[in-house]
Chain A
């Protein structure tokens, strides 16, 4: 398996623009997680899905953030409108059951 795939790897955009981050989990994994990494707060859980259903989105910072998982092999995290404070590395991770999570390589987002 290729592991968790994220795209794009880098995204530079201007404040106010819409940003869409994409994730393909490992085949067969039933949980998918979106994290944000910052220097101040480390890795923060934004939202996670179980069998494509959002279970806990309490970590989503604002209504500007939304996430979807239309099927077992694809998820998106959207920020609209984006702001400079959204600049961070966003990770997607997947897991089967209670095993250890496998992380993707991350998307480095810079909002100017």
Chain B
């Protein structure tokens, strides 16, 4: 059973606008959340993370928001750029090192 869910398989956004990617989880024991970005024919690369003791983490154009009561997190990219077009995976872990991944959201930024 999927403990991490990304219900939107794809998202298209105009260049310069905000991209919002969503992720839901079911396991309340998750204490650390990550976003990975994946280009075709490459492995996923780490983008940004957030600990469960925080509700927001920002890194340049990327911000991750965590709503623990709703078991929901989101990744905001602003402004979106064509180079951001990729598949984005949400992941979560408990105290151990193994990650639980969502199915991914394909973001297309239209120039």
Contact = CB atoms under 8 A, between A and B. Distances in A.
Contacts of A35: 101
Nearest to B100: A45
Interface string B74-111: 00000000000000010100000111111110000000
Interface residues of B, number: 21
Given A56-B98, A105-B41, A40 B46 contact: no
A91 B43 CA distance: 7
Interface in A95-110: 95, 98, 100-106
A95 B97 contact: yes
B45 to A, nearest CB: 7
Task: Identify the 3 closest CB pairs spanning chains A and B, nearest first.
Answer: A103-B43, A42-B103, A43-B101
Given A100-B46, A104-B43, 6 more contacts: A33-B99, A45-B100, A48-B98, A91-B43, A98-B97, A101-B99
